[in-house]
Structure 1
Amino acid sequence: MKLNLRLSTNGKLTVLKYLVAALLVMIIGSIIILSQGNSPAEAFKALGVGAFGSVSAIGTTIRWATPSIITGISAVIAFKSGIWNVGIEGQMYFGAFVSAVVGYQLLMPRGVHIVVCLLVAGLSGMIFSFIPAILKLLLDVNELISTLMLNYAALLFTEYLTFKYMGFDASELADAIATPDMQPTARLSVLLPRTSATTAIFIAIGIAILVHLLYKYTVKGYELKMVGENLKFSKFGGVNYKSTFLTIFLLSGFIAGMCGGTEMMGTFGKFRPGFATNLGWDGVMIASIAKNNPIAVIFISFIWGALKSGSFHMERVTETNRLVISVLQALFVLLVAIDYEALYKWFCDQKQLRMLRKQESGVQ
């Protein structure tokens, strides 16, 4: 009974922290918008209309929520085990490129073609994630640095591959560099007519649920989580650290690669260098807000998608720059990440220390 009460209290405190963070973000956002000479009420109204005001707006929200869920789950797998894989965007680029090539080169039945494109996308991301994993295991290279640097390598290398092997001349404009259109059999179905929302959203939700079940009900999931929570205990408990570390990295890379595949098979239909607008970093921030909870990632990703969808409409109909929303998103992550309990305890300790010093000085 006490345990349930404690969990309930912790849950209420978490919800309260999110509400306070959201309120502070809205206040700060209003101040920023006012400083630009614009109306916060008009900006926030336009934000809501752009996110949920029409079928097209809802479709755009779903479109942006989809990659946010998948990259968020990729980050959860790594962070939950204490591994800093911030190379999700690079792994996504490789998955996207290979998926686009397979999508236009091979002729297959629709169902088979979609599955094959998803698998090769995941495997490509997994292979690329193998590089920082091996660097960490064999040479003890910090994975935060290696994955961060490999993002740039992936972006430039996939651009080179597209530029080199797709028959484009060096004089072509950068926007013209792209792979040919994928076969119709490799494309995912449109979810809402005349919108960019596709059935990729079901793939994203399915991945999140499977990862949730993996961690909650399987021995392997317990081992993956234990490595992050207590490395020394996991070693004494018989967990093969090197094998588990490699599994975590490869699984995270596989899901990141699948995100690239769904982007090609859904919205884009071809690989174009620079297609991802910080989707990997969105996943990192969403995983941080969700406290590495796969189910929470789903709900937060829809909010994230709504903010992104609404920000485009807000910029069109008001004079407020949509980058204001990006700033507020980052600020929200920062406010949620603060350990308020530890901060409160520190202030109490400082207050008590000052009182003790006063008492000591009074006695003297």
Structure 2
Amino acid sequence: MKFRLAQNTKLEILKYILSMLMVMFIGTCIILSQGNSPTEAFSALITGSVGSVSAIGTTIRWATPSIITGIAAVIAFKSGIWNVGIEGQMYFGAFLAAIIGASVAVPKIIHIPLCLAAAGIGGMLFAFIPAILKLTLNVNELICTLMLNYAASLFTEYLTFKYMGFDASELADAIATPDMLPTARLGTIIPKTSASTAIFIALGIAILVYLLYKYTVKGYELKMVGENLRFSKYGGINYKRTFILIFLLSGFIAGVCGGTEMTGSFGKFRPAFATNLGWDGVMIASIAKNNPIAVIFISIFWGMLKSGSFHMERVTNTNRLVISVLQAVFVLLVAVDYEALYKWLCEKRQIRMLRSQKGEV
């Protein structure tokens, strides 16, 4: 059994390596087709991610929300629930955190946890909508959470507009909540960078979720609901209550991500502040095979790519969207079941051999 586990691990590592090599090859072809130098582009990518203290700080900054949204996705996906509304839940969390951070004057030791708790509750309440719709009206949670992302983005923009008292459309670019008080802001871990202490919150969440699934009865119940719904029902697990709990927990963590973005990097809520952060979490969870610890390492790599892509666009003629395309391609390549593909090819080969032998006879 131990050998089998080790063998499976080696195969998974080999799959990641081959996928990475294929992505680099595809990226080279895309960059060459644009008339640019792949060597310069990849060199700038590395320099922009780990080439200086400032670059490392930017990598940490982007890895932080990736970890938290990745864990929010893991909780849902590990239990067989398609919560792709993480970005919308993050918006509501961020909005509430920004309001609490700007309007409530309390000591820092209370203010930051208060902002993050409000953010988590905001994300949790918004996640309750698709959960209750699924249980009462059997509304598909994938479609529901997907569409609610747009509702969250537009509704929080409307709330911000009204909160600030704007009444003219030409002020749309200025829509933002007031600056959060200094007591609501997280500290930086690398001076003159956007890397904040939110990274420790992200790591703490990932470790707690790992321990939840590995060592607790509740974690076992959450996992069983996803792996075998019929077995979980016969095993005495309250499916409806557990289903809602999964959605609320996933939404809470997504909301906390919005809170860390406000208390850390932004300091105020602006509409459309999250540039696909929710989708990053979904992709990272898929690559990590819903493993919370793997999410940490993949998120760091994700942060390196995002940090490096901005630098690459500044110093070369390669558009940073090329990296976004390669990230999506990497997800697709990792998702392929190469073992099943290999077996299918072997079967096809055997069939051809048998047919050729019959033809010879």
TM-score above 0.5, yes or no: yes
The answer for unaligned runs of 5 or more in structure 2 is none
Alignment of structure 1 residues 1-364 onto 2, 5 Å: 3-360=1-358
Amino acid at match of 1:321: N
Tell me the number of residue pairs that the alignment of Structure 1 and Structure 2 aligns. 361
Tell me the SS of whatever aligns to 1:348.
helix
Deviation (angstroms), 1:28: 0.7
Deviation (angstroms), 1:240: 1.1
Deviation (angstroms), 1:362: 5.3
Deviation (angstroms), 1:166: 1.4
Deviation (angstroms), 1:359: 4.5
Amino acid at match of 2:94: A
Partners of 1:230 and 1:318 lie apart in 2 by: 50
Deviation (angstroms), 1:46: 0.4
Amino acid at match of 1:144: L
Residue-by-residue CA offset, 1:80-110 (whole Å, 9 max, x unaligned): 0110000000000000001100111101110
Deviation (angstroms), 1:230: 1.1
Deviation (angstroms), 1:122: 0.3
- Structure 1's consecutive aligned runs of 4 or more residues displaced over 6 angstroms after TM superposition are none
Residue-by-residue CA offset, 1:161-180 (whole Å, 9 max, x unaligned): 00012122324432210000
Tell me the SS of whatever aligns to 1:173.
helix
Deviation (angstroms), 1:357: 3.6
Partners of 1:204 and 1:174 lie apart in 2 by: 32
Amino acid at match of 1:238: G
Partners of 1:306 and 1:39 lie apart in 2 by: 20
Partners of 1:279 and 1:22 lie apart in 2 by: 22
Partners of 2:83 and 2:358 lie apart in 1 by: 51
Partners of 2:148 and 2:31 lie apart in 1 by: 36
Amino acid at match of 2:286: S
Partners of 2:7 and 2:232 lie apart in 1 by: 29
Partners of 1:128 and 1:360 lie apart in 2 by: 64
Residue-by-residue CA offset, 1:324-357 (whole Å, 9 max, x unaligned): 0000000000000000011111112222233344
Deviation (angstroms), 1:8: 0.4
Deviation (angstroms), 1:215: 0.2
Residue-by-residue CA offset, 1:143-177 (whole Å, 9 max, x unaligned): 00000000000000000000012122324432210
Partners of 1:138 and 1:169 lie apart in 2 by: 39
